[in-house]
Amino acid sequence: MKAGLEGLNPEGKRVLVRVDFNVPLLEDGGIRDDSRMRACLPTIQELRSRSARVILATHLGRPKGKPVEALSTRPLAARLCALLGTEVSWCPECVGPVAVAAAGALRDGEVLLLENLRFHPEEEANELGFAAQLAALADLYVNDAFGTAHRAHASTEGVAHILPAYAGRLMERELAALSEILESPPRPLVAIMGGSKLSTKLGVIDHLLPGVQQLLLGGGMAATFLVAEGAQVGRSLVEPDFVARATEILDRAPSLGAEVHLPTDVVVAAGPESTAAEARSCPAGEVGAEEMILDVGPATARRWSELVQRAGTVVWNGPLGVYENPAFAGATRLVAAAVGESSAVSVTGGGDLQAALESLGLVSKFTHVSTGGGATLEFLEGRELPGVAALRERLAVP
């Protein structure tokens, strides 16, 4: 893709930048984690340094096509002001005369943040007229919102067919890191799949399986695989409709040269709110009838740590246990630390795993932490993302 910012001349021009500032919020409306905002700073700063007039567009939460005061982007402008070290103006609209006037008043190097795109149902419907209204605010379009690139929305796909379109620096980094996993990863390639449900990871597992050497399966989804092997898992989260698919994966992997590793021991308790004193480790086949698997066991975590330390590439999606409770964060912490100490190219994706790594202070140990959730999964499934496809189409024309 001829995507980079080096391909455009933004001096004195209004540049509409689609960012993903869909940050988690506190109950009082404050920002719990601004990492998604910080990820876009290189693009914003570069455009400012090149005398662009920067117009930022984002969604926040799920307002379902109508204004919701608690999901206004106004607080984001104040945080962005602190992150950039410069004034950031805020517009109470994202389209229409007020937005046009605010965009037109910008001077070189200034930044404007628009109100929540999803206050308008036309955004998610990818309505052409709404895309045209967004495009009317600017001369150029930059998509730096990889986390929303799997959605064909007006601001991610529609505008790219109207204005000259480019990928921002975050978008470039995401595509480069994830493409390497699929095309030419340093080997051996170790894939770690966690999280609660197998059903959400099947596409990724199917797409990666022919290329991985080691596949480590943890999190709640491991229970479905253990059931496929005949184990008793008590009250653990199991998807009965996917036990057959789990069996098929286990049967198919050896013929593809992939070694699948399930937990041989697990940490169990009555439920996710249990304390460490109420939890116990046991062999994976000895879960009590009233117990739930809530983490990968310590022996398995040590063995998996040895595997990742010998890896050339590690791709990881989903925590290995209920990391929000320290009693069940042990495996995620141990394996993540091992990845960080290794020389492997390490790529992670998914909001839950990123939150786990943030809480454990281990984000900086990874080569690339993807800002995408669904977008990362769909890319690793081999799907074409609408937001990326639109850029490719525009940039294929000299």
Does residue 57 belong to any structural domain of this protein?
yes
Residue 78's alpha-carbon distances to 86, 91, 111, 335, 365, in angstroms, are 10, 12, 12, 37, 29
Total residue count of the chain as it appears in this document: 398
Is 235 marked active-site? no
Does residue 378 belong to any structural domain of this protein?
no
pLDDT at residue 356 in the model: 82
Instruction: Phi first, then psi: give them for residue 200, nearest 5 degrees.
Output: -85, -10
Strand partners, 267: 281, 295
- Answer yes or no: do 25 and 160 share one domain: yes
3-state class (DSSP) for residue 297: coil
Structure tokens of 117? 């795109």
Secondary structure element (H or E) that encloses residue 37, with its range: helix 35-39
How far, in Å, CA of 127 to CA of 119, rounded?
A: 14
Is 85 marked active-site? no
Catalytic residue selected from 14, 18, 36, 173: 36
Instruction: Output DSSP code: residue 25.
Output: B
- Answer yes or no: do 134 and 227 share one domain: no
Question: For residue 282, what are the contacts with CB-CB under 8 A and spacing of at least 6?
Answer: 265, 266, 268, 297
Is 118 marked active-site? no
pLDDT at residue 63 in the model: 97
DSSP for 192-229 reads: EE-SS-GGGTHHHHHHHGGG-SEEEE-STTHHHHHHHT
> Percentage helix, strand, coil, to 5, in the chain?
45, 15, 40
Catalytic residue selected from 4, 303, 374, 383: 374
- Answer yes or no: do 251 and 306 share one domain: yes
Mean pLDDT of the chain, nearest integer: 94
Does residue 96 belong to any structural domain of this protein?
yes
pLDDT at 27 over 90: no
Using a pLDDT cut of 70, give the percent of the chain over it.
98
Residue 254 zone, left/alpha/beta (φ > 0; ψ -120 to 50; rest): alpha
- Answer yes or no: do 228 and 87 share one domain: no
Question: For residue 252, what are the contacts with CB-CB under 8 A and spacing of at least 6?
Answer: 209
Catalytic residue selected from 2, 50, 74, 197: 197
| Predicted confidence band of residue 107 (pLDDT cuts 50, 70, 90) | very high
- Choose the weakest-confidence range: 49-58, 110-119, 352-361: 352-361
Sheet holding 313-317, edge to edge: 259-261, 214-217, 189-193, 313-317, 345-349, 368-369
pLDDT at residue 357 in the model: 84
Q: Where are the beta strands (DSSP E) in the chain?
A: 14-18, 53-57, 88-90, 111-113, 140-143, 165-167, 189-193, 214-217, 259-261, 265-269, 280-283, 292-296, 313-317, 345-349, 368-369
Q: Where are the beta strands (DSSP E) in 78-212?
A: 88-90, 111-113, 140-143, 165-167, 189-193
pLDDT at 394 over 90: no
Strand partners, 17: 56, 142
Place of tokens 């036309």: 122
- Answer yes or no: do 239 and 163 share one domain: no
Instruction: Output DSSP code: residue 157.
Output: I
Overall average pLDDT of the 197-218 stretch: 95
Structure tokens of 171? 């978008």
- Answer yes or no: do 167 and 51 share one domain: yes
Domain range for 67 is 5-171+385-395
| Predicted confidence band of residue 259 (pLDDT cuts 50, 70, 90) | very high
Nearest to 388 by CA among 104, 121, 166, 60: 166
- Answer yes or no: do 162 and 193 share one domain: no
Q: Are strands 53-57 and 88-90 parallel, antiparallel or unpaired?
A: unpaired
Say how far residue 225 (Cα) sits from the centre of its chain: 25
How far, in Å, CA of 4 to CA of 19, rounded?
A: 16
Is 195 marked active-site? no
How far, in Å, CA of 357 to CA of 339, rounded?
A: 12
pLDDT at residue 395 in the model: 54
pLDDT at residue 329 in the model: 94
Does residue 315 belong to any structural domain of this protein?
yes
Structure tokens of 41? 């700073």
- Answer yes or no: do 214 and 80 share one domain: no
| Predicted confidence band of residue 97 (pLDDT cuts 50, 70, 90) | very high
Question: Is the separation of the CB atoms in 367 and 345 below 8 Å?
Answer: yes
Strand partners, 29: none
* Number of other residues whose CB lies within 10 A of the CB of residue 373: 20
- Answer yes or no: do 81 and 112 share one domain: yes
Question: Is the separation of the CB atoms in 332 and 300 below 8 Å?
Answer: no
How far, in Å, CA of 112 to CA of 391, rounded?
A: 23
| Predicted confidence band of residue 355 (pLDDT cuts 50, 70, 90) | confident
pLDDT at residue 358 in the model: 82
Question: Is the separation of the CB atoms in 114 and 55 below 8 Å?
Answer: yes
pLDDT at 157 over 90: yes
| Predicted confidence band of residue 354 (pLDDT cuts 50, 70, 90) | confident
- Answer yes or no: do 207 and 331 share one domain: yes
Prior bond of 298 cis (ω within 30°): no
3-state class (DSSP) for residue 110: coil
Using a pLDDT cut of 90, give the percent of the chain over it.
84
Q: What total number of domains does the chain contain? A: 2
The answer, as to whether pTM is greater than 0.85, is yes
CATH of the domain at 41: 3.40.50.1260
| Predicted confidence band of residue 3 (pLDDT cuts 50, 70, 90) | low
pLDDT at residue 264 in the model: 98
Does residue 370 belong to any structural domain of this protein?
no
- Answer yes or no: do 197 and 338 share one domain: yes
